[in-house]
Structure 1
Amino acid sequence: MSANPGNVAGGLKATISNPHTSEEAKERANERLQDMEESGELDHKEAHDAHVARGRKAALHNPNVSLEAKERSKKALEELEDEI
């Protein structure tokens, strides 16, 4: 099973910012992250759109969200789906 590129990138970023990680490990993580970005393996727009869609779906099922906000979320989800 292949790993989710977004999760891999998140782990690499955590490694880079961890003060307990060696400089050598930080350099390797930074190189791997750059390789992912250059190869197109990490598509920021695709990841962003997925996060937005999850947030909109969560709003639809949240009882504390107003009906107006749920309607906006529903419309935004439809627009995202049309882009795909």
Structure 2
Amino acid sequence: MINLIKIEPQNNYTLKLYFSDNSSGILDFTYMVKTQSSLTKPLESLDYFQACFIDFGALCWKNGLELSAESLYRKCKENGTFHINQASA
């Protein structure tokens, strides 16, 4: 089971995500912010977006929005930003 272990906010709505298998990836969440749902609307505030945190290995925001590590891991692989730290693997 893959867990999210660290988050580093980058520019705008982009986060660098670190996973429990010594891999990492960068995801741009602009697409999600633009959906304008009740859970994503607060993310328009960059300060709010970057106040994300990890809870039980998932990416979370204080309004209850939660994204599983597995889905984020898969997105990183699909968009080509996935990297495995060979020195630690």
TM score, norm. by length of structure 1 = 0.27
TM-score (ref. length: structure 2)? 0.26
Structure having the higher helix fraction is 1
Higher RCO (C-alpha under 8 Å, 6+ residues apart) = 2
Which structure has the bigger radius of gyration?
A: 1
Which structure has more strand as a fraction of its residues?
2
